[in-house]
Amino acid sequence: MKERLQKLIAAAGLASRRQAERWISAGRVTVNGRIAAIGDQADVERDRIEVDGRPLRLEQPKVYLLLNKPNGYVTTARDPQGRKVVADLLKDVKVRVFPVGRLDLNTEGLLLLTNDGDLAARLTHPRHQVAKTYLVRVRGTLTASSRRRLEEGVMLDDGPTAPAKIAKVRSSGSHTWFEMTISEGRNRQVRRMCEAVGHSVSRLKRVGLAFLVLEGLPVGVYRPLTNGEVKRLKKL
């Protein structure tokens, strides 16, 4: 049976559907020797599908990992600038996995990695509004007015944000710590929201994704999700 190429690539655990679409657009995917285009379909039983010249193989075991990402790592498999990548922390993982969403270079904390492209697509789709909680440290004092603006949503250059939830606010010298929960996944969203209300972020750590938390997992260490956790994620 023919299916869209991005779905087949995701099912093989190589990338999310969105990333697979980018690979197709870049000409990295061929079907029977012909460069594929967005919208093309293929049958894995009859067609030869290749990504970067390598045959597409399905039926890899599904892997779900929770990593406590350190500061200074990028969430890509390779980095042309030679920076450290999270794949360096997963060298004993036999199956290729990819991150669900992104944490930028200087953001640490909870990062989910998997080769389940369908689940990754659902977790990152805006429709499902999966909550992400961050421990934030900003310069200066978070005033009641700034907090209210964050909780009501702020205007960014790519449009207004959904309201954030702010909790556990405390001052520490010239900084303020608080927890911030958002349900969107825009690029550098927490940092940009804080900057929009006049506060630059000096430290940022993701501590929760839906019901998942770090639970004392050491920095730079990962653990597999339990079967129960995987089932709960699929129900979101």
Catalytic positions, written as ranges: 104
Residue holding tokens 């990548």?
85
Interior/surface letters 207-234, b for 16+ CB within 10 angstroms, e for the rest: bbbbebebeeeeeeebeebeeeebeebe
| Whole-number Å distance between alpha carbons of 36 and 22 | 12
DSSP helix/strand/coil, 234: helix
Q: Are 89 and 67 contacting, i.e. CB atoms less than 8 angstroms apart?
A: yes
d(CA 30, CA 17): 16
DSSP type of residue 89 = G
